[in-house]
Amino acid sequence: MRVLGLDPGLRHTGWGVIDIAGNRLSHVADGVVHAPVDLSLAERLVRLFRQLGDVLERFHPDEAAVEETFVNKNPSSTLKLGVARGVVLLAPAERGLPVSEYSANMVKKSVVGAGHAEKEQVQLMVRRLLPGCLIAQADAADALAVAICHAHHSRTLAAWGGATARSA
């Protein structure tokens, strides 16, 4: 199975693709899509959607997993991030892929073993769990961590009879 992990952001959205074969995880690719800040919000969302469409077209994942958004102190920033997250959820769903969502704490706990791990710890463990993976940017590492989290939890949910990870 091939999984696309996504770490939503309005300016930078990280993505990571892994293959799952039994208990083995393999790194396929990772990167970050960018939406220039000098564009209007609507134009930035279109850019984000199209770039994610290119990633989906190129790697043909079977499922997608998205990190849930945390609430910032700034309501305007939270709202804009939520809109970008909607586009990130829409891109794979529009192509018929199942999309699961995971909290940041669940992702960190699945990859590092601690729900409040630092970004550096997450990057280190992603590199250990995906040998040969050279992560260029932190957003891509976060996206790979989301994919790894999904790899672990999707098998458990499937064993429980096909429940979805939406509420995870």
Residues labelled as active-site residues:
7, 67, 139
Cβ atoms of 106 and 94 within 8 Å: the answer is no
| CA 13 – CA 51 distance, rounded (Å) | 10
* Amino acid (one-letter) located at 116: H
Helix axes 138-159, 119-129, angle to 10 degrees: 60
42/158 Cα distance (integer angstroms)? 37
- At residue 89, what is the residue type? L
Quote the longest CA-to-CA distance of the chain: 47
Instruction: Give yes or no for a contact between 33 and 75, defined as CB atoms under 8 angstroms apart.
Output: no
CA-to-CA distance for 144 and 16, rounded, in angstroms? 5
Measure the CA–CA gap between 39 and 65, rounded to whole angstroms: 27
